[in-house]
Amino acid sequence: MSEVFLFDALREATDEEMHNNSSVFVLGEDVGHYGGSYKVTKDLHRKYGDLRVLDTPIAENSFMGMAIGAAITGLRPIVEGMNMSFLLLAFNQISNNAGMLRYTSGGNFKIPLVIRGPGGVGRQLGAEHSQRLESYFQAVPGLKIIACSTPYNAKGLLKSAIRDNNPVILFEHVLLYNLKGFIPDQEYFVPLDKAELVKKGNGLTIVTYSRMRHHVMQAVNLLEKDGYSPEVLDLISLKPIDIKSIVASLQKTNKLLIVEECMKTGGIGAEIIAQINDNYFDLLDAPIIRLSSQDIPTPYNGNLEKLTIIHPKQIIDSVKYLMS
């Protein structure tokens, strides 16, 4: 085992897959000589050259279209968004091309494309750099969406995504790049469609993902001192949602708390609630509680920004309320 930062885990995954397969390449703004805005591609251009670690102009729709075309011809592109919010400029290419071409071509084309980069609410990055795009892309057919939360699952997920023959969006949180964790020295993969059981418990089920996993665990560590026993699931797969793992936990606990950084309206939590109410309502002993970000553009002001997202105290209060 080696202890690494999350950004280094992503870099290792990229390096290993580029070494193993010459059809894998990286493109995006400042990914080459600068090494990426969060150093995920640092020094890779020295090893693989400027045509496999390709610096692009600031033209997201253009280089996303180029990546999709490259994927159709048999290459396996990794597109880094300098900030995932900028990929709204390529929404047409991602939805109408990446998501649809395998279907509209009758299966003649595969789109082995990975789209990854920093997102989520940072620290005073302003509204346009603090968006949570999982809700935007959730409704697009043909896409797989995943969110990493530790160095271990970041590396394993990226390696699995690069080898998948479908377009995969990997959301990385801007405040988790410097998170340290242990990863195996040998090669490993993390499945793209499975939630991770972070902690076993029997009192209630907490479902979360990305940075909120760490807020949840802070709350759980305090709750356990008061005798509570929550079970914690990290979704990892946001599309498709691993509803089977959530249901398996609910069969033990019969209570559900969802904690997300996504907006409440039309977010990931909303989809989970819909699926549970449609198919597994009888498992519930109490209404589902959903803790989500405020439905407003994220303020630049630091104090106002804190008020828009969920913190451990709100999680603790919600657990105690559900258990009462």
Structure tokens at 28: 């995006």
| pLDDT bracket for residue 63 (50, 70, 90) | very high
CA 77 vs. chain centroid, Å, equals 18
Q: Tell me the pLDDT band of 131, cut-offs 50, 70 and 90.
A: confident
Measure the CA–CA gap between 81 and 17, rounded to whole angstroms. Answer: 19
User: How large is the angle between the packed helices 268-279 and 243-253, nearest 10 degrees?
Assistant: 60
Give percent of the chain with pLDDT exceeding 70: 100
The 10s digit of each residue's pLDDT in 222-251 is 999 999 999 999 999 999 999 999 999 999
Distance CA 95, CA 19 (A): 30
Q: At what angle do helices 6-20 and 151-163 cross, to 10 degrees?
A: 30
What pLDDT score was predicted for residue 229?
A: 95
CA angle in degrees (0–180, nearest 5) for 125-123-230: 130
Judge whether 60 counts as a catalytic residue.
Answer: yes
The percent of residues above 90 in pLDDT, for the chain, comes to 93
Domains in the chain with CATH codes? 2-183 (3.40.50.970), 196-323 (3.40.50.920)
Q: What is the mean pLDDT of the chain?
A: 96
Instruction: Measure the CA–CA gap between 277 and 189, rounded to whole angstroms.
Output: 33
Contact (Cβ atoms closer than 8 angstroms) between residue 182 and residue 1: yes
Q: Is the pLDDT of residue 157 over 90?
A: yes
Predicted pLDDT at 127: 87
Active site residue 260: no
Instruction: State pTM to two decimals.
Output: 0.96
Q: What's the CA dihedral at 118, 120, 123, 125 to 10 degrees?
A: 70
**Residue written as token pair 């560590």:** 221
From CA 42, how far away is CA 32, in angstroms rounded? Answer: 7
Please report which confidence band the pLDDT of residue 138 belongs to, taking 50, 70 and 90 as the band edges. very high
Task: Report the alpha-carbon distance of residue 188 to residue 199 in Å, rounded.
Answer: 21
- Mean pLDDT, to the nearest integer, of 10-31? 98
Q: Burial level of 132, CB count in 10 A (0-12/13-18/19+)? A: buried
Q: Tell me which of 12, 17, 60, 271 is the catalytic residue.
A: 60
Helix, strand and coil content of the chain, in percent to the nearest 5, comes to 40, 20, 40
Question: How far is the CA of 38 from the CAs of 110, 121, 186, in angstroms?
Answer: 30, 15, 25
d(CA 218, CA 221): 5
Of 12, 45, 129, 231, which is the active-site residue? 129
Q: How confident is the model over 308-316, as a mean pLDDT?
A: 96
Give residue 222's pLDDT.
97
pLDDT at 29 over 90: yes
- Answer whether residue 309 shows pLDDT above 90: yes
Q: Where are the beta strands (DSSP E) in the chain?
A: 2-5, 24-28, 53-55, 76-80, 114-119, 144-147, 168-173, 180-183, 196-199, 204-208, 230-234, 237-239, 256-263, 289-293
- Write the pLDDT tens digit of every residue in 74-126: 999 999 999 999 989 999 999 999 999 999 999 999 999 999 999 999 888 88
Question: How many Å apart are CA 28 and CA 47, to the nearest integer?
Answer: 17
Q: Compute the average pLDDT of residues 249-260.
A: 98
- For residue range 186-223, what is the model confidence (pLDDT) as tens digits? 999 999 999 999 999 999 999 999 999 999 999 999 99
